[in-house]
Structure 1
Amino acid sequence: MRSQLFLQNPAYAGAYVYGRRQKDPSRCRPGSLTGTVKVAIADWAVCLRSAHPGYISWEEFMANQRRLADNVAHFEAGHAGVPRKGAALLQGIAVCGRCGRRMSMRYTGPNADYPVYCCRSDRDQEGSALCQEVRALAVDALVQRVVLDALVPDQIEIALAAAGQLEQESRQLERQWALRVERARYEAERARRQYDAVEPENRLVARSLERAWEERLRVAEAVEQEHARWRGQEPLLIGPAECAGLQALGENLPRIWNAATTSAADRKRILRFVIREVVLDQKRTRGQVWLKIVWQTGATSEHHVQRRVHTYRNYIDIDRLRQRIVELNAEQKMDAEIAAILNQEGFVAARGCAFKGENVWLLRTRWGIPTVKINGVDKNPRRWPDGSFSIQGAAAELGLTPQTVFDYLARGLLAGRQLAKGQPWQIELSDEQISQLRNRVRRTKHSKKEAS
Structure 2
Amino acid sequence: MTDRRGGLLQGRVICGRCGNRMRVRYQRVSARLEPYYVCHDVAAHDAGEPCQSVRGSAIDDAISLLLIETVRPAAIEVALAVEDEIAERIEQANSMRLKQLERARYEAELARRRYMNVDPANRMVADTLEADWNDRLRRLDALQQEHDRLRQSDQNLLGDEARTRIRVLADDFANLWNDKRVESVERKRMLGLLIEDVTLIKSERVSIHVRFRGGCTTSLDVDKPKSMALVRKTQPAVVSVIDELLETYTDQEVATRLNELGHTNWQHQRFTARKVALIRTTYSLRSRFERLRSLGLLTGAELAAQLEVSQTTIHQWGRQGLLKRQIYGHDHRCLYEPLGDVVLLRGTGGRKATPPTFITA
Q: TM-score, normalised by structure 2?
A: 0.42
Q: Which has the higher contact order (CA 8 A, sep 6+)?
A: 2
Q: TM-score, normalised by structure 1?
A: 0.35
